[in-house]
Structure 1
Amino acid sequence: MPEGDRAEGAVEDHVVLLDADGAPCGLAPRATVHSARTPLHLAFSCHVVDAGGRVLLTRRALGKRTWPGVWTNSFCGHPRQGESFPEAIARHARHELGMRVGAPREVLPEFRYRAVDASGVVENEVCPVFVALAQSDPVPNPDEVMDLRWVEPADLAALVDLAPWTLSPWAVAQVPQLGEALTPGSTP
């Protein structure tokens, strides 16, 4: 990660807290918000597809606080106060995957979930889901991603059906709802 991004992240790395209706109600430092009592907050998920219609799956680094070593969608993140989803997606694509992505398309605007990992840490997010087109090859940040694979959308759907325990709970919940959004003819 470029030094400038590191300094910026240290100063502004927060999440937008939400009330029960999903309206912003405050901010909290990202490093402290995920616990056994994680408050509802704003996030996003992004599924990156390539020109051939394959979907990028990533395996979360072992140092991640929640679901370490688990396969998931391309990347997730938290928009900062005043940051648009496209801006947050571009920032996280650079940070986590060292890549550029095309204008993301919102495909599940109302996605929301709560899940508890094996360590007891809770994810509790209003988390719109986006699909974006890869504009460069990924060069993963090892602090974020330990492995990656390009897969066919049908293979991802089959994995959700056959081995959901290998994937993050948000990916398992999202994939069946994505329908045609991940097929080659519907890429952004």
Structure 2
Amino acid sequence: MIAQLDSEHVVLVGDAGQAIGVAPKDEVHGRDTPLHLAFSCYVFDAEGRVLLTRRADDKLTWPGVWTNSCCGHPQPSEPIARAVARRLRHELGLAASRIDLMLPRFRYRAVMASGIVEYEVCPVYRAIVETDPQANPEEVGAVRWMSWAGFAEGVLSGDLEISPWCREQVPELVAIGDDPLRWPSADVALLPPAAIPD
């Protein structure tokens, strides 16, 4: 059984993408954040609109910043797609009809003005939903739907202020194709070893 949200642990990752341990989530993010396993998810509706979220104002990292639909950390031995579904329910009250791997090897490091660091091996997923979100205010301050083309153009031009990981992910997603509903899924065998449970 997965640990309760108030006792989440993250999987620590080595340079080659292998799991090297675990640590409590609330002790990991700081000025010397170790590389760890996470995920990003972009939620789309049947029209191909993407769901953006504004991170809650009391988040430790990038509070109040607009970003992609959902992010999180898989628990030790939890398949990432299951973690995506869990966080979509918790943060947005959404049950996805499909969850597909898009960018299996995305990795980034970003530093806030306060010095807090995010340093993640962060596979990127697409989720398709048929309902509107019911945002959890502890996680999400606001939501909005945008056309994918308008969103991508805003990110690529720099006109849209967005989280640093999203800014790096969007060009890679754009390279897959113009229609996010027709993007081909990536092979799960391309995930880093830490993301493939025993």
Residue 163 of structure 1 corresponds to 158
Greater shift, 35-44 or 177-186, is seen at 177-186
Work out which of the residue numbers 5, 28, 53 in structure 2 matches 1:9: 5
Rounded to whole Å, the distance in 2 between the matches of 1:120 and 1:64 is 15
Quote the sequence identity (%).
Answer: 51
Question: What does 1:23-62 align with in structure 2 at a 5 Å threshold?
Answer: 23-62=18-57
Alpha-carbon distance, 1:181 to partner: 5.4
The structure-2 alpha-carbon separation of the partners of 1:143 and 1:185, relative to structure 1 and needing over 3 Å to count, comes to closer
Q: Could you tell me how far apart the structure 1 residues matched to 2:39 and 2:177 are? A: 16
Please report the TM-score for the alignment, with normalisation by the length of structure 1.
Answer: 0.90
Instruction: Give the conservation status (yes or no) of the 8 Å contact 1:55–1:182.
Output: no
TM-score of the superposition, structure 2-length normalised?
A: 0.86
**In structure 1, what is the Cα distance between the partners aligned to 2:160 and 2:150?**
15
Cα deviation for residue 104 of structure 1 reads 1.2
Q: Does 1:81 align with 2:55?
A: no
Q: Please list the CA deviations of residues 136-184 of structure 1 after superposition, one character each: whole Å capped at 9, or x if unmatched.
A: 3200011111111110111111211333671000000001110245725
Q: Which runs of 5 or more residues in structure 2 are unaligned?
A: 186-198
> Is the 1:53–1:182 Cα contact (8 Å) retained in structure 2?
no
Preserved contact between residue 54 and residue 143 of structure 2 (Cα < 8 Å): yes
Structure 1 runs (4+) greater than 6 angstroms displaced: none
Deviations 1:39-63 (A, max 9, x none): 0000000000000100001011110
> Is 1:126 the equivalent of 2:126?
no
The alignment's C-alpha RMSD in Å is 1.8
Which deviates further from its counterpart, 95-104 or 122-131? 95-104
Is 1:183 the counterpart of 2:176? The answer is no
Normalized per residue, which structure has more helix?
1
One-letter amino acid of the structure 1 residue matched with residue 147 of structure 2: E
Find 2:147's aligned residue among 146, 149, 152. Answer: 152
What is the aligned residue count?
Answer: 182
